[in-house]
Chain A
Amino acid sequence: MAIMTYRRALHDTLRDEMLRDERVLLLGEEIGVFEGSYKITAGLLEEFGPRRVRDTPIAEEGFTGAAIGAAMLGLRPVVEIMTINFSLLALDQIVNHAAKIYGMFGGQASVPLVIRTPGGGGQQLGATHSQNVELYYAFVPGLKVVAPSTPADARALLQAAIRDDDPVLFLENLALYNTKGDVPDDLPPAPIGRARVTREGRDLTLIGYSRTAHVAAQVADQLAASEGLDIEVVDLMSLRPLDRATIVASVRKTHAAVVLEDDWLTYGIGAEVAATISDGAFDDLDAPVRRVAMAEVPLPYAKPLETAALPSTDDVIAAIYQTLDAVGRRHLKVGHD
């Protein structure tokens, strides 16, 4: 067991997988000499050389497509796209090829590819650099999308993603790189497609993934201390496949849900989760499922506008209260049993 940052967990896992399997190679902009924009690949060029740690030109469509082709011939490329915003330049290759090759050719070739890329925002990066578009990938059959929130999950899911025979989009987050957590030494790969209840509770289910899983945990702790609320937290961990059974089981117990996401409100991940709850736990639901998400605007640069557009902890708490209000259980103060 070691305590390490999310960044370190990613770095060590990449290194371990490269040591373990000669077919694993890294491609991306500035990942070698520059050691990665967020230093995930620090030292790997030195250790593995330019054959396995490839600095690419600024050509997302080209190198992502090339990684797909290399994967078809049995390599296990791990592509780093500097931020998820730039993955849009590779959207065609990811959606039309990585996700399609297995099915379109009747299962003759698979694409064991990993695309690592961070979401984020809230740092005044403006309209084109603050988007969280994991949804675009979660929408596509044939792709897997994982979104770990802790260093241990990052390690377990990155191992799984690299050893997986299908293309996996591995969502990281700028705000998570410096967060710390325990990572067991002999952690096995995590099965892709499972969510986890990270905090048990009875009053309401709070659902998040990646960065918002932390927000959910923090708000649950805060409201437990201040209001005696007993909130259950679900960390989705995987966006496609989505672990609907865990979501539904939780809501059957709590009868209310609030979903947190870092993308825009409508047509988002939260919409899919809400639809899942509507389908699977309709009779158990005591209040409408609430989503807390970004205001539907191109993100402005100016700090006050950006702050107003991004969900805050207060927004989450307000949504929880309103949901509990709707349930008619607002007075759940300490000792509510």
Chain B
Amino acid sequence: MSPATRSPRSRAASAGEPTGEHQRLVDFYRRMLLIRRFEERTARAYTQARIGGYCHLNLGEEAAIVGLLTALEPTDYLFTNYREHGYAVDRGIDPNRVMAELYGRTDGVSKGWGGSMHMFDTAHRLLGGYGIVGGQVPVATGAALAIEYRGGREIVMCTMGDGTTNIGAFHESLNLAALWHLPIVYVIINNRLGMGTTVEASSAEPELFRRGAAYRMAAARVDGLDPVAVVAAAEIAVASARDGEPYLLEVVSERLRGHSVVDPAKYRTEAEVADLRAHDPVPALAARLVAQGVLSDEQLEEMDRAALRIVEEAAQFAEASAAPDVSTLFDFTYATPVDNVGTRYPGEPLFPPAPRPEETES
């Protein structure tokens, strides 16, 4: 495994020459904007039937993602749930390959086998988006065990939704990590909803970070709409994990649209939706940058055009990429060659039909 490169993140701002803290904000904005445009392009491709299956978007979680990943070293590991396109792109994986995965093509990060819910890229140490709620949590805990076992300096970040904190695996994993002093940060992206169920309706302790207390695990809650706050909180969490003490970080965020692309989210009131729009982290950061005189409207527009170009190119790349050949259907059942394994297409018998008997009358 080679350490990740993070080209999109280290690119200097092309708009103006802000410095220091301002430069950092501009960089955050660029990355958040890329996630935003990427997800909007994804939604469009889904409605055009270029993408199938379940498709969950990171719209509203841009500041959370950018803040969290800023605190990671390229060699740290990341596990997520199925709502992970933005993580993949912001981790530095080529957006072309993320989009190609969504299209189910061979150039996709998982070669078209995973789709929206299952992005994986060894080089960038994204060890998977997982579709079973809570499924990634024990697995990520085990990755931290491997690091601790080898005396490594890396840490694992494992993200999940608020709803995931009610599944047994969450509690079992936190207990293991605390007992074994594993280098892991559990991140709860609290977008206040499971699918349509609110945190209050599903969690007896709705201040989710407090669940860490049951395992004597350090924990905190942070405003996930402010990337600067998220970085600061995530840096504390990551430092703790690197010192061998697991950490539970709750990032209070928003889900701007339905649970998945096909959910019209009718269970939300108009007031709620208006409130969501008012708190949208992407325009909020843009307004902040303009108000502080860091960026002009023209510069904002130029950045937007750049993001749009990247996602449009990604869609074109995905469209042009080849679909997997049917002959590869049995390529990934086992990592090792094995005798007597069934490689039959659905209509095929276990044994070839016996030769036909001599013509009988009918």
Q: Is the CB–CB distance between B114 and A305 below 8 Å?
A: no
Please give, as numbers and ranges, the residues of chain A lying within 8 Å of B166 by CB-CB distance.
57-59, 62
Q: A-B contact count, CB below 8 Å?
A: 177
Task: Report A312-330 residues with CB < 8 Å from chain B CB.
Answer: 312, 314-316, 318-319, 322, 325-326, 328-330
A301 to B197 Cα, complex, angstroms: 28
Residue A295 interfacial (CB < 8 Å): yes
Q: Which residue of the partner chain A has the closest CB to B323?
A: A304
Residue B345 interfacial (CB < 8 Å): yes
Please give, as numbers and ranges, the residues of chain A lying within 8 Å of B201 by CB-CB distance.
33, 55
Residue A310 interfacial (CB < 8 Å): yes
CB distance from B39 to the nearest CB of A (A): 18
Task: Report A75-132 residues with CB < 8 Å from chain B CB.
Answer: 85-86, 88-89, 123-129
Interface string of B21-36 (1 = CB under 8 A from A): 0000000000000000
A129 to B129 Cα, complex, angstroms: 13
Residue A294 interfacial (CB < 8 Å): yes
Q: Is the CB–CB distance between B104 and A303 below 8 Å?
A: yes
Residue B213 interfacial (CB < 8 Å): no
Residue A141 interfacial (CB < 8 Å): no
Residue B2 interfacial (CB < 8 Å): no
Q: Is the CB–CB distance between B328 and A128 below 8 Å?
A: no
Residue B168 interfacial (CB < 8 Å): yes
| One of B131-139, B234-242, B287-295 at the interface | B131-139
> Chain A at the B interface: mostly helix, strand, loop or mixed?
loop
Task: Report A173-225 residues with CB < 8 Å from chain B CB.
Answer: none
Q: Is the CB–CB distance between A265 and B342 below 8 Å?
A: yes
Please give, as numbers and ranges, the residues of chain A lying within 8 Å of B53 by CB-CB distance.
123-126, 129, 301
| One of A3-11, A153-161, A229-237, A285-293 at the interface | A285-293
Residue A49 interfacial (CB < 8 Å): no
| One of B5-13, B181-189, B224-232, B350-358 at the interface | B350-358
Known: A34-B195, A34-B197, A302-B105. A124 touches B202 (CB 8 A): no
Q: Is the CB–CB distance between A62 and B168 below 8 Å?
A: yes
Q: Which of A128, A309, A330 contacts B346 (CB 8 A)?
A: A309
Please give, as numbers and ranges, the residues of chain A lying within 8 Å of B118 by CB-CB distance.
126-127, 301
CB distance from A299 to the nearest CB of B (A): 9
Residue A134 interfacial (CB < 8 Å): no
CB distance from B352 to the nearest CB of A (A): 9
Q: Is the CB–CB distance between A86 and B342 below 8 Å?
A: no
Q: Is the CB–CB distance between B356 and A34 below 8 Å?
A: no
Q: Is the CB–CB distance between A328 and B347 below 8 Å?
A: no
Q: Which residue of the partner chain A has the closest CB to B161?
A: A58
Q: Which of A60, A290, A300, A302 contacts B349 (CB 8 A)?
A: A290
Please give, as numbers and ranges, the residues of chain B lying within 8 Å of A298 by CB-CB distance.
332-333
Residue B150 interfacial (CB < 8 Å): no
Known: A30-B194, A322-B353, A332-B362. A58 touches B134 (CB 8 A): yes
Q: Is the CB–CB distance between A308 and B326 below 8 Å?
A: yes
> What is the interface size of chain B, counting residues whose CB is below 8 A from a CB of the partner?
58
Q: Is the CB–CB distance between A57 and B54 below 8 Å?
A: no
Please give, as numbers and ranges, the residues of chain B lying within 8 Å of A310 by CB-CB distance.
346
Interface string of A272-299 (1 = CB under 8 A from B): 0000000000000000101011111110
Please give, as numbers and ranges, the residues of chain A lying within 8 Å of B113 by CB-CB distance.
126-127, 300-302, 305
Name which of A266, A304, A336 has the most chain B CB atoms within 10 A of its CB: A304
A89 to B194 Cα, complex, angstroms: 17
Please give, as numbers and ranges, the residues of chain A lying within 8 Å of B149 by CB-CB distance.
none
Residue B115 interfacial (CB < 8 Å): yes
Residue B283 interfacial (CB < 8 Å): no
Q: Is the CB–CB distance between A34 and B104 below 8 Å?
A: no
Which residues of B pack against A, CB within 8 Å?
52-54, 104-105, 110, 112-118, 130-135, 163-164, 166-168, 194-197, 201-203, 267, 323-326, 328-330, 332-333, 341-347, 349-351, 353-354, 356-357, 359-360, 362
* Given A301-B112, A304-B325; 6 other pairs, CB 8 A cutoff: A37-B195, A288-B354, A295-B343, A302-B323, A308-B345, A315-B347
Nearest 8 CB-CB pairs, A to B? A315-B347, A301-B115, A34-B196, A124-B52, A57-B166, A302-B104, A124-B53, A302-B112
- List, sorted by A's number, 25 A–B pairs whose CB atoms are closer than 8 Å: A30-B194, A30-B195, A30-B197, A33-B201, A55-B202, A57-B163, A58-B167, A85-B132, A125-B53, A126-B114, A127-B114, A288-B354, A295-B343, A298-B332, A300-B113, A301-B112, A302-B112, A308-B345, A308-B346, A309-B345, A310-B346, A311-B346, A315-B347, A319-B347, A336-B362
